[in-house]
Structure 1
């Protein structure tokens, strides 16, 4: 069953149940409150009629004309003798069977309270029962004979006036409500159908499907979130394609070099050339190994499968260790290195963290000027630990700063001779994995500053 059909079905059920409950509640009110008041009011009218006929000594014929006039005003009236003779004025009763209380009117002379004592029903209001027992009565004397005067309101006359207006109003409200609900349900289901179509298009990798929903309610908010998700999935899909393309390119280049120089080794070459080609093959193999290692780190962090081994790590000691391992590269470029390393401890994975320092310090060396300078500072306070690595290298253009952490992104050709564009991506992923952050400041031809901040738990 479609949502719109189900919505209409539930709406009709709710309306019907509401009507049913309304009937029960109205009957309860009638039986326990209104019925007694109606009985007393109509009994007073019957007694007033009896009094008028008695005081003016109206004959039976004149009384009949008088009672007929009263019936035309909206009453059912019966004059009944004890022997069963009956004169009816107005709409006849559907049931004219007497009960013991009506006979008691002639025997004891007490008024008959039939409306008050009529049997209760919670589904059909007893007010509408066209039964002579559902009346009020009083004894009256006409032309020296005792009669019983029984009276009740004429329901048919009652319905032709006020109740017909009420029922017409209720019917109009009911029909208008159904039409309004049908219209609103159509609008809701139309929007949901549009979302369903958009979802199907996304499943078919169509991320450009236009979602034509402009609303200010919850469905509009859902549509806005869907568009955001659509955009993110499109960006992710493009990044995936770009990632595959870059990985293929970075694997292909060293593999071609290895293959080419391997073929040269099989030919007639000198010993010096053989050593040279062998060194190139080893360099390219190492490059492939590093690329594979970095890809594995990124993939395992992305998938949450990295074998975490967090412990208390002395950051200052790690920085000393990395600088010492790269000392030959520092000396080779004639760089001056300044260390201001306060004792700093963080809770982290030792292997991942040292990978961060290797990438950042390695970049500071690689992209620095001859006889440039590298400054490394680390300190901590009660809330955070901060590591700053500054170089006096070639710097980064301002419009590329936001992209340097993207995977396989290279600022320019000068920077991709040895790099693969994964180092800073790994740095950001590792720091994010440790709830840490990194900021970069750079001026072209003046140098770059990387600042990492670790929250203290």
Structure 2
């Protein structure tokens, strides 16, 4: 019974059953009440006839006029046939007892009393019967049925509508920016599922709002530092008496910080675009091993400057995807490996085919990453070494993870503080377009 349609059907069925049951009880009660009332009235008339007969010398016609009623026919009959009464009733009449027959029939009870050699028969007026009397008294009962049905409808409707009203109020609160609202979702029907989905949606919106604020805060912080440097050194450059060597150094710092801002802006724009992108644009087949070698060649000035030794072992593997996007992955991971490696350190780069996947491992012997930071390395603006915050934006690995996701691949990181870090990237040879 987890569908609201079933509950609605049962809801109306319950109203019908309850109303019908109450109606049946009322009809039965009223029918008996009317039948008893008719029989009682006729008995009183019959007893009055006997009393007047025994206490007065009035003729029968005068007695009939005295006891007559607009609701009953009181008439004299010469004889009673066996069709009208049974043998037992006939004997009762001969014993001067009052006899009632026809109790519970539509025409109502007929009461007979002996008066000398004739009989007096008392019955409902020809224009009335039990049904007519019952209908005339039914209006109060009908009103009661209507009230009971209305009460049931109101109670059960409120039970069904209450969660919808709660959802309406909750959506209004969310529209006003309140993401703390949660609704009880204990029901197991469509409304319950809707409520649980609403709660999940609010939690997602809360997370998005938190990330949005955190992103704005981080962007503001990351932009503030280089802008402050540019402003400070630009102010120093205005000094006419500045030493030419210092002037060149200050100008170099301004260029460096401006370049950093430009790179950060480009990375943020690319990351924002990729986060809205559901697939790769213009995929092509290319040699992954050659692409990685090209990235190593491009970064040769950096690793040569630190006298880093590279151990390269690359199998020939082809993949299908966006070549330009995947190039960003190797450039970022290799650049990080170089930056965090020690002087005269070593970096190992490997590529091999595993089943239908290409697996790339890049290992450095540098400072490593603390265990508490491993889960955060892919967060935007997070930097492992805060002392080098001026050397990067903290967006590189976020960009890497998004690109790998677009390739339907995966990226993992393992690290030992002080011993080095290994990034493992797995890319399907045939990715979804």
Shorter-chain TM-score range: 0.5 to 0.7
Aligned to 2:167, the other structure's residue is in SS state helix
Kindly report the root-mean-square deviation, in angstroms, between the aligned alpha carbons of the 2 structures: 3.9
Name the CA distance, whole Å, in 2 between partners of 1:203 and 1:75.
67
- Deviations 1:410-443 (Å, cap 9, x if unpaired)? 2242342302110111011111122221111111
Q: Does the aligned pair in 2 maintain the 1:337–1:373 contact within 8 Å?
A: yes
- Number of aligned residues: 336
Unaligned runs of 5+ in 1: 1-6, 20-58, 78-87, 96-129, 131-153
Where does 1:145-160 land on structure 2 (aligned, <5 Å)? none
- Deviations 1:127-171 (Å, cap 9, x if unpaired)? xxx8xxxxxxxxxxxxxxxxxxxxxxx7579x79xxx9xxx9x99
Alpha-carbon distance change, 408 to 91 in structure 1, aligned in 2, over 3 angstroms: same
Q: Does the aligned pair in 1 maintain the 2:351–2:358 contact within 8 Å?
A: yes
Name the CA distance, whole Å, in 2 between partners of 1:234 and 1:72.
76
Name the CA distance, whole Å, in 2 between partners of 1:346 and 1:90.
105
Of 179-188 and 230-239, the range deviating more from structure 2: 179-188
User: How far off its partner does 1:60 sit?
Assistant: 7.8
Aligned to 2:234, the other structure's residue is in SS state helix
Q: Does the aligned pair in 2 maintain the 1:258–1:284 contact within 8 Å?
A: yes
Aligned to 1:227, the other structure's residue is in SS state helix
Name the CA distance, whole Å, in 2 between partners of 1:417 and 1:311.
36
Report the TM-score, using the length of structure 2 for normalisation. 0.67
Is 2:360 aligned against 1:342? Answer: no
Name the CA distance, whole Å, in 2 between partners of 1:356 and 1:233.
30
Is 2:180 aligned against 1:208? Answer: yes
Report the TM-score, using the length of structure 1 for normalisation. 0.64
Q: Which of the numbers 170, 179, 200 marks the counterpart of 1:228? A: 200
Q: Does the aligned pair in 1 maintain the 2:279–2:406 contact within 8 Å?
A: no
Q: Which of the numbers 234, 246, 251 marks the counterpart of 1:278? A: 251
Q: Which of the numbers 59, 74, 79 marks the counterpart of 1:61? A: 79
Name the CA distance, whole Å, in 1 between partners of 2:413 and 2:145.
67
Q: Which of the numbers 200, 217, 236 marks the counterpart of 2:188? A: 217
Alpha-carbon distance change, 385 to 171 in structure 1, aligned in 2, over 3 angstroms: farther
User: How far off its partner does 1:284 sit?
Assistant: 1.3
Q: Does the aligned pair in 2 maintain the 1:378–1:387 contact within 8 Å?
A: yes
Where does 1:1-40 land on structure 2 (aligned, <5 Å)? none
User: How far off its partner does 1:91 sit?
Assistant: 5.1
Unaligned runs of 5+ in 2: 1-6, 20-76, 87-98, 109-120
| 2:264 matched residue in structure 1 | 291
User: How far off its partner does 1:372 sit?
Assistant: 1.9
Name the CA distance, whole Å, in 1 between partners of 2:409 and 2:344.
32
Q: Does the aligned pair in 1 maintain the 2:288–2:319 contact within 8 Å?
A: yes
| 1:74 matched residue in structure 2 | 105
User: How far off its partner does 1:316 sit?
Assistant: 0.9
| 1:387 matched residue in structure 2 | 360
Is 2:344 aligned against 1:371? Answer: yes
| 2:43 matched residue in structure 1 | none
